[in-house]
Amino acid sequence: MLFLSTFIVVFAGLSSAKPFSGKRWDNPSLKHRWVEVPRGWEFHSTPAEDHLLEMRIGLKQNKLDELISSLYEVSDPDHERYGQHLSKAEVDALVAPHPDSVEAVEAWLQHHGINPDDAHFRSAGGEWISIHVSVAQAERMLDTKYGVYHHPASGSSVVRTMEYSLPAELHSHIDVITPTTYFGTFHSMRSTSFIETKPASLVDDAASFAAEISPLAVPASCGSTVTPACLRAMYNTTNYVPKATATNKLGVAGYLDEFANDAGEFRTDAVGGTFQHVQVNGGGNSQSQPGVEANLDIQYTEGISFPTPNIYYSTGGSPPFIKDTFTPTNTNEPYLDWLNFVLNQTVIPQTFTTSYGDDEQTVPQDYAVSVCNLFAQLGARGASIMFSSGDEGVGGGDCLTNDGTNRKIFQPAFPASCPFVTAVGGTTRVNPEVAVSFTGGGFSRYFSQPSYQTSSVTPFLTNLGTKFSGLFNASGRAYPDVSAAASGFQVVISGRTSSVGGTSASSPTVAGIVSLLNDFRISQGKAPLGFLNPLIYSTAKSGFNDIVSGSNPGCGQTGFTATTGWDPVTGLGTPDFLRLQQLV
């Protein structure tokens, strides 16, 4: 999910290019290897040698530590730099690679007949390079063999490899290369929403959606039949009118064939209004075949944040390719095109929500870390980023490890496990809310526990004792951070109402509330909230309704249990806008 701008390398005359001293590049060293084909995928065939791949090279960022330090400082309400978010130019300067890294990578490319001077474009910071290479050339560069792999459950096919290597010298200069060993696509990943079978609870008309509900008496029906009016009452936003609509914006990230209907407003004051469509890399906008996920997201971000401008990013995923019988057309990886686009904008929305994820162990760690660091860039620039925590509890399926040992352990979700995003879990019912059984939560095995959450997480771990010992990484980044309603959402899709559930509903709900908080701050002449976690785990902690019942079973286990204080089921709880407004 990253990459700023890309550049295309012209390959005319590659066969006549003269390589440099070959010995410098003749010592391949393993970068990443799978011991087995990732579960759910199967080898299909050998790709054509001339099939084009869009190879993306992520160079090590020379001042990444300084970027992360700046992110925490501008996000810490007790720090003198709080709210002093970085500009695009300042972030670009911090993520730029060291000149030695640039020299080494360019020399390696030249060795393989690729002239860097032919590049059409690089990322603004120079930390990402994108080139078009044939499968045959990629195999020579990475000392590997590519295959076409198929994912029967989703119908996805990708060109990937089980392992790849780089010359030993380049390991200190390159973080990750794609596409290589990350098999995920948005078709194969789990969208964190699903259609529920609740015909009796469906709201039949727009007027019912629009009817306001008193926060003092939220009806029990809102626990099973959720409308924007329910959420506005439950989380105390009903009477807030946005003022900074010329500045404040809310972005919804959508992918592949997920587009949103323009029609479907549930607020009488929003009739005739619409949202902005931004199509990235061939993303669609077919008003005749909208997506469930897309309509869920935009109908509820708008339902809460109106008249704040909403932007729906429809991101495609089909790079240039050579058509042949056995090679798929889609070799792009999740998030990369979207982040490439957004990070290259001078002005970005102050709030984002995304509702996709996968088991962390299915994402190569070098890829996950590189992607997570790109979210740090967005946060440093003043964006609040919400991700749904997943719908598999502590893990779905057999929960066996993919390292060859076949151990059963809890399976954390990525990108929810990234410490630079705000992960959103799910609840159900009202008066009181309880954890919904499918809400994802747990502890990362890739990312260590950030200091901002230690004081909140430690009491939970202390009380848990030795229960589930060995099934999770107690020193890992803990999630979710917060929660919101996740079941019974009434969504209009092609003119018909469906009941939708999942933490895909929770994330846009929280994003809508955060967008209102950003509106409030901006209207007071203050900076937007930016990266939320250091704030919500400290001075804003009391702005959440603690959820103290429910659990998130999975992996054949009962899962964690919601309790007083933070827990890996509902995090810090659900937001109360009026309390948070006083705290931010």
Q: What is the pLDDT of residues 496-507, one digit of tens each?
A: 888 999 999 999
Q: Which of 20-29, 156-165, 201-210, 262-271 has the highest mean pLDDT?
A: 156-165
Please state the rounded mean pLDDT for residues 340-368: 92
pLDDT at residue number 508:
95
- Shared domain for 290 and 368, answered yes or no, is yes
The C-alpha atoms of residue 143 and residue 108 are separated, in whole angstroms, by 13
Using pLDDT thresholds of 50, 70 and 90, give the confidence band for residue 392.
Answer: very high
pLDDT in tens, 192-203: 556 776 543 455
pLDDT at residue number 25:
94
- Which phi and psi (to 5°) does residue 174 adopt? -120, 130
Using pLDDT thresholds of 50, 70 and 90, give the confidence band for residue 18.
Answer: very low
Selected catalytic residue, list 157, 504, 507, 515? 504
Domain boundary among 149, 178, 207: 178
Three-point CA angle 248, 251, 257, nearest 5°: 160
Is residue 504 annotated as a catalytic residue, yes or no? yes
Is residue 90 annotated as a catalytic residue, yes or no? no
Please state the rounded mean pLDDT for residues 76-100: 98
What residues are paired with 130 via a beta bridge? 56
Q: In this structure, is residue 305 part of a structural domain?
A: yes
Binding residues for Ca(2+): 546-547, 565, 567
Q: In this structure, is residue 45 part of a structural domain?
A: yes
Please state the rounded mean pLDDT for residues 453-479: 98
Q: Which domain holds residue 420?
A: 196-583
Q: Is the pLDDT of residue 14 over 50?
A: no
- Shared domain for 170 and 200, answered yes or no, is no
pLDDT in tens, 108-122: 999 999 988 766 568
Binding residues: 546-547, 565, 567
- Shared domain for 120 and 230, answered yes or no, is no
Selected catalytic residue, list 92, 127, 293, 576? 293
pLDDT at residue number 11:
33
- Shared domain for 353 and 444, answered yes or no, is yes
- Shared domain for 142 and 291, answered yes or no, is no
Q: In this structure, is residue 67 part of a structural domain?
A: no
How many helices (H) and strands (E) would you count in the chain? 13, 26
Provide the token pair at 555.
Answer: 């992996």
The C-alpha atoms of residue 399 and residue 420 are separated, in whole angstroms, by 25
pLDDT at residue number 28:
96
Average pLDDT over the chain, rounded to an integer: 86
Q: In this structure, is residue 446 part of a structural domain?
A: yes
Q: In this structure, is residue 483 part of a structural domain?
A: yes
Domain boundary among 143, 178, 213: 178
Q: Which of 69-83, 357-371, 474-488, 539-553 has the lowest mean pLDDT?
A: 357-371
- Shared domain for 156 and 224, answered yes or no, is no
pTM over 0.75: yes
- Shared domain for 254 and 362, answered yes or no, is yes
CB-CB contact of 502 with 388 (8 Å): yes
Among residues 251, 235, 444, 283, which one has the least CA distance to residue 354? 251
- Shared domain for 203 and 345, answered yes or no, is yes
Q: Count the Cβ atoms, other than its own, within 10 Å of residue 126.
A: 18
- Shared domain for 293 and 399, answered yes or no, is yes
- Shared domain for 273 and 165, answered yes or no, is no
pLDDT at residue number 220:
92
pLDDT at residue number 347:
96
Q: In this structure, is residue 187 part of a structural domain?
A: no
- Shared domain for 124 and 236, answered yes or no, is no
pLDDT in tens, 222-270: 999 999 999 999 999 999 999 999 999 999 987 655 555 555 555 667 6
Residues 6+ apart with CB under 8 A from 144: 138, 161, 162, 163, 164, 165, 180
Q: In this structure, is residue 81 part of a structural domain?
A: no
Selected catalytic residue, list 258, 297, 366, 576? 297
- Shared domain for 444 and 406, answered yes or no, is yes
The C-alpha atoms of residue 289 and residue 291 are separated, in whole angstroms, by 7
**pLDDT over 90 for what percent of the chain?**
68
Q: Which of 199-203, 454-458, 578-582 has the lowest mean pLDDT?
A: 199-203
Q: In this structure, is residue 551 part of a structural domain?
A: yes
Three-point CA angle 573, 576, 578, nearest 5°: 160
Of residues 312 and 233, which shows the higher confidence score? 233
Among residues 346, 385, 356, 415, which one has the least CA distance to residue 510? 385
Q: Which of 67-71, 180-184, 266-270 has the lowest mean pLDDT?
A: 266-270
pLDDT at residue number 9:
36
Using pLDDT thresholds of 50, 70 and 90, give the confidence band for residue 426.
Answer: very high
Question: 3-class SS at 354?
Answer: strand
pLDDT at residue number 119:
63
Domain count, the chain: 2
CATH number at residue 526: 3.40.50.200
Is residue 297 annotated as a catalytic residue, yes or no? yes
CB-CB contact of 179 with 158 (8 Å): yes
- Which phi and psi (to 5°) does residue 128 adopt? -125, 135
Please state the rounded mean pLDDT for residues 290-304: 79
Question: 3-class SS at 413?
Answer: strand
Provide the token pair at 355.
Answer: 């509702």
Q: Which of 46-55, 67-76, 230-239, 452-461 has the lowest mean pLDDT?
A: 46-55
Domain boundary among 118, 152, 178: 178
